[in-house]
Amino acid sequence: MTRPAPARPQTVRVNGINVSYTDAGSGPLVVMVMGTGSPGRVWHAHQQPALLKAGYRVVTFDNRGIAPSSECAEGFSLADMVADTAALIEHLGGPARVVGTSLGARIAQELALARPDLVTAAVMLATYGRPTPMLEAFSAGERELFDKNIILPDSYHAALTAHMNLSPHTLADDRSARDWLDIIGFSGQTRAPGVRAQLALHDREQNRLSAYRDIAAPCLVVGFADDRTLPAYLAKEVSEAIPDAEYREVARAGHYGYIEQPDEVNSLILEFLSRHR
């Protein structure tokens, strides 16, 4: 089957900022929210094509902080990002099924809580509902590296990124490990001020688990068994807090589990969404 041509990026002014997005396909609307420092096109490798093939209209976008959306280097809050997503869904004629990963999953949770009228169902990958000492320490270190303009050697940065975000099963295969190190190394080290503003969000996080008891939308929470960045138990806590939530865990997958194990992740998303069309 021929893969459909990728949609051209569009820009819309919503919630006081410019948001760059792609809109492809037809059918029930799915809006996909990416994590810290990453553009929306990351979804285009695996999840967007699977959803298009299944008959959904799929919108991916660059969160504020990620050019060509407004970088907002002066700083912003998680509530701002939630409001951005809400305004985009309204512009698209929502409501929508919302899929997010990492920070994007946190946005999906808060959106389902704040604007239940806009969220038909939600899928949260590699998520969390509270800060932990390890998360706080790692986030503080990332901000300090940025503020002191410390650029790690490319090979070390690639190795550290791979170690934190990929499963040991992936890295145990030498060819796979080399391929991932090359991909990460080629991607470079992002120093954009908008990304620094996204990193600042992690300095103000609160325990939101009790608030999530008021989420009414059906939710699928997916943990990745080998996730070192956001361990799977944090995702399970979110699923236990949301009344109408299901929890699934993907084996042999790290924080980038949606890229490492795309077939299984796509199957979970599609099966869940098929029950909430």
Q: Are 57 and 23 in contact (CB under 8 A)?
A: yes
- Among residues 38, 139, 227, 239, which one is catalytic? 227
Amino acid at 268: L
Active site residue 255: yes
DSSP structure string for the chain: -PPPPPPPPEEEEETTEEEEEEEE--SSEEEEE--TT--GGGGGGTHHHHHHHTT-EEEEEPPTTSTTS---TT---HHHHHHHHHHHHHHHT--EEEEEETHHHHHHHHHHHH-GGGEEEEEEES--SS--HHHHHHHHHHHHHHHTT----HHHHHHHHHHHHS-HHHHTSHHHHHHHHHHHHHH-----HHHHHHHHGGGS----TTGGGG--S-EEEEEETT-SSS-HHHHHHHHHHSTTEEEEEESS--TTHHHHSHHHHHHHHHHHHHTT-
- Among residues 20, 102, 167, 239, which one is catalytic? 102
Q: Are 36 and 103 in contact (CB under 8 A)?
A: yes
- Among residues 44, 157, 202, 255, which one is catalytic? 255
Cα–Cα–Cα angle for 76, 77, 81, nearest 5°? 95
Active site residue 102: yes
Active site positions, annotated: 102, 227, 255
